Amino acid sequence: MNRLQYSASPYLLQHANNPVDWYPWGEEAITKARREDKPIFLSIGYAACHWCHVMAHESFEDEQVAAFLNAHFVPIKVDREEHPDVDALYMNAVIAMTGQGGWPLSVFLTPSLEPFFGGTYFPPVPRHGLPSFLQVLQAVHYTWVSDRQSLQNLAGKVFKHLHQSHTWQPISQAISYETVLTAALNELERTYDWQHGGWGRAPKFPQPLAIEFLLTQASRGHAHAQNLAFHALHAMASGGIFDLVGGGFHRYSTDADWCIPHFEKMLYDNAQLATVYLQAYLLSKDETFRYIARRTLDFVLNELTHPAGGFYASLDADSEGEEGKFYTWSIEELKTLLGEVATWQDFSQTYCLDERVAHEGKLVLKVKSTWPELAQKQDRELAECLRHAVDLLHPLLLQRQRRVRPATDKKIIVTWNALTIRALALAGRHLGHLHYLKAAQNAANFILENLYWDHRLYRSWHEGVLGPLARLEDYASLILALLELYQTDFDNAWFVWASQLAHEMLDRFRDSAGGFFDSPQDDNSLPIRPKEIQDSATPSGNALAAHALLTLAYLDEHGEWEAMTHNLLTWIASACQRYPLGFASFLRCMDLALGPIQQLVFLWRDPGATALYLNHLHGQYRPRLILAGSTVPPASNAPALVRLNHPAPEVPVTAFICNNFICLRPTTSFAEFIAQI
């Protein structure tokens, strides 16, 4: 076995028996490359990546390939989910060199970690215009030996490009947040696919960050923002990208109209999509959105939950060596499972059963139209239509439970857990289902008890083994998740943790020139300390940090943090207008910064007295509401918003409302509260 056997990453452990002498990312491999004057072959992937598995079987398990690789290179294997900063830096390099990127990512570096050649998947034999992986290794080795200067020159140019792309400084300039938000909204509308829903061509990815931004604009009265968001959500809810049998979303659609998914299921996708479906339900009261949100969260609780409370990273796309085998059906199998003719007719009137939904000769289940349209055709109430559809699928669920499951990546990643904690806290708050809130609390406690040691947060954990130190996105997303929990159960411990983590985030990631680095200050493993500002499948670390600091500023009166956020938003405004899909999380933060902010505090002597007030609030979508609460007297380390208010004497509950930082008189009357709110 190679050195990967000691890793905390299930993805790296999959390669521990390769004949390739893999090193994990770190000083040992880099020192070896410099000492032996060898180039580095850097391979980046993740456990649920189909083509990563293919290249591993074809090339990394091949003795001839491994022998050449071991003799002439220092091979390093990286789990992109453990080291998103390493992945982002070298992905940018490969895109700059080749015009495209993806996983597996294959990069060749000088011993000083400067990239000079790269690509993605290379086959075992030449095909589709690609050289074999062994041919690539031989060509790189030959050039390294015979014409190293040309590689050094190329590496220098690529490194200069990377350095420039990661060097930026927020500047103060007069901008109108409202103008930026309007321009971004118009651009999202201009590029929207009204035929199929969503943005872009095949492969088509969910865009929960953009949809969440649209929902915030819908709350301001922009009807076209609401139309865009609801259309996109309905398209995905009725598409093959949503697993109708088991719940939850697949990674993306291989076609433009959401029929055939790429079958891996990622925790972060399901967390973010559950959040926007829940918010859309609050805004619309459309039962479709509530149904999808609940079935997505239930999938996470049923299939991605560690017994002690954290959440696993992903489910693989493959099972028994075939992509999608766990999720697809033959016509014969469906007819056998459904039995009665009447049931089959009902089923075939509900779900598409034609070539549009065929994958490798089997069917992906997809609704024939949107759920509201289907309910209208069946002359049923929407809620009844959804229940009936679930009943029809029950025999399929039982059959699936007898199938061989895809592999689970049981790595627990802070950022992805934080996104899930936020979704569950919101569901507990707004749907009134306490098991969601309990799951969020358990997961938060798991992270704080297992991934925070000696005043340091770690990024990942697997079966008791800690991964690398946390990145910016881990700190910032966890702060936001804890603040969402605090605003749900008013447990002051969540706020205290969030405040502590915020101070650590500033100490370890802040750039004095503006913004935040992605890696901590004591991590010198990369030649450039990256500062990513653009969203990927998850929000950018800088956008999360800005949102976290702004929320804390509104809770605890940190004027400096608010000013930092405004400075960063000012600098990023131009990109937000032009590329809203890439900067949607900054747009969401900008919406909060624009306001109007509503700060609401409850102070109680009888906790039960708050129920009437909270039930009224929790039935509504209020994206710019900041909530705080405490028993009387509040703790000395409670938010300033709580400590600076004083309850009426001997009254069960007092409510304090401030609209855009102008405070109304405290009220002990529910009727007056309704009038004020």
Q: What is the pLDDT of residue 364?
A: 94
CATH of the domain at 103: 3.40.30.10
Q: Exposed, middle or buried by CB within 10 Å (0-12, 13-18, 19+), for 660?
A: exposed
Do 354 and 305 lie in a common domain? no
Flag whether 339 is in a domain. yes
Q: How many CB atoms lie within 10 A of CB 189?
A: 16
**For the residues 2-29, what does the mean pLDDT come to?**
94
Flag whether 172 is in a domain. no
Task: For 215-259, write each residue's pLDDT tens digit.
Answer: 999 999 999 999 999 999 999 999 999 999 999 999 999 999 999
Do 292 and 392 lie in a common domain? no
- Full strand arrangement of the beta sheet holding 662-663: 625-631, 598-604, 653-659, 662-663
Cis peptide before 203 (omega within 30 of 0): yes
Do 577 and 653 lie in a common domain? no
Q: What is the pLDDT of residue 645?
A: 85
Q: Which two tokens stand for residue 422?
A: 């936020």
Amino acid identity for residue 428 in this structure: G
3-class secondary-structure state, position 648:
coil
Q: What is the pLDDT of residue 82?
A: 94
| Domain, as residue range, for 23 | 3-165
Looking at 400, 424, 459, the residue that finishes a domain is: 400
Q: What is the pLDDT of residue 129?
A: 82
489 pLDDT higher than 80:
yes
Residue 349: pLDDT band with limits 50, 70, 90: confident
Q: What is the pLDDT of residue 466?
A: 95
Q: What is the pLDDT of residue 424?
A: 98
Amino acid identity for residue 648 in this structure: A
Q: What is the pLDDT of residue 49?
A: 86
* Residue of 212 and 378 predicted with greater confidence: 212
Do 301 and 434 lie in a common domain? yes
Task: For 267-323, write each residue's pLDDT tens digit.
Answer: 999 999 999 999 999 999 999 999 999 999 999 999 999 999 999 999 999 999 899
Q: What is the pLDDT of residue 48?
A: 84
Do 133 and 181 lie in a common domain? no
* Pair 470, 458: CB distance under 8 Å: yes
Q: What is the pLDDT of residue 130?
A: 87
Flag whether 554 is in a domain. yes
> Cα–Cα–Cα angle for 311, 423, 559, nearest 5°?
110
Do 638 and 543 lie in a common domain? no
Cis peptide before 170 (omega within 30 of 0): no
Q: What is the pLDDT of residue 385?
A: 93
Do 426 and 335 lie in a common domain? no
* Pair 601, 645: CB distance under 8 Å: yes
Closest to 293 measured CA to CA, from 414, 383, 426, 388: 426
DSSP code per residue over 14-79: TTTTSSS--EESSHHHHHHHHHHT--EEEEEE-TT-HHHHHHIIIIIT-HHHHHHHHHH-EEEEEE
Do 292 and 374 lie in a common domain? no
Looking at 550, 579, 594, the residue that finishes a domain is: 594
Report the chain's C-alpha Rg in angstroms: 26
DSSP secondary-structure letter at 56?
I
CATH of the domain at 208: 1.50.10.10
Residue 184: pLDDT band with limits 50, 70, 90: very high
3-class secondary-structure state, position 590:
helix
* Pair 312, 408: CB distance under 8 Å: yes
Q: What is the pLDDT of residue 171?
A: 64
Flag whether 171 is in a domain. no
486 pLDDT higher than 90:
yes
Do 209 and 344 lie in a common domain? no
Residue 629: pLDDT band with limits 50, 70, 90: very high
Helix, strand, coil distribution of the chain in percent, nearest 5: 50, 15, 35
Amino acid identity for residue 420 in this structure: T
Question: In angstroms, rounded to a whole number, what is the distance separating the alpha carbons of residues 66 and 21?
Answer: 8
Rounded to the nearest integer, the mean pLDDT of the chain is 94
How many domains is the chain partitioned into structurally?
4
Task: For 117-127, write each residue's pLDDT tens digit.
Answer: 999 999 999 98
Residue 535: pLDDT band with limits 50, 70, 90: very high
Question: In angstroms, rounded to a whole number, what is the distance separating the alpha carbons of residues 535 and 324?
Answer: 28
Flag whether 189 is in a domain. yes
357 pLDDT higher than 80:
no
163 pLDDT higher than 90:
no
Task: For 588-603, write each residue's pLDDT tens digit.
Answer: 999 999 999 999 999 9
Closest to 117 measured CA to CA, from 129, 128, 138, 125: 138
Task: For 638-671, write each residue's pLDDT tens digit.
Answer: 999 999 888 888 899 999 999 988 889 999 999 9
Q: What is the pLDDT of residue 197?
A: 97
Q: What is the pLDDT of residue 395?
A: 93
Do 449 and 484 lie in a common domain? yes
Looking at 594, 613, 638, the residue that finishes a domain is: 594
Do 319 and 364 lie in a common domain? no
Tell me phi and psi for residue 42, to 5 degrees: -105, 120
Question: How far is residue 454 from each of residues 226, 447, 450, 462, 466, measured CA to CA in Å?
Answer: 46, 14, 11, 19, 13
Task: For 556-592, write each residue's pLDDT tens digit.
Answer: 989 999 999 999 999 999 999 999 999 999 999 999 9
Q: What is the pLDDT of residue 674?
A: 93
**For the residues 141-157, what does the mean pLDDT come to?**
94
Flag whether 275 is in a domain. yes
Closest to 7 measured CA to CA, from 369, 411, 328, 335: 411
169 pLDDT higher than 70:
no
Flag whether 386 is in a domain. yes
**For the residues 141-147, what does the mean pLDDT come to?**
96
Do 270 and 387 lie in a common domain? no
Flag whether 212 is in a domain. yes
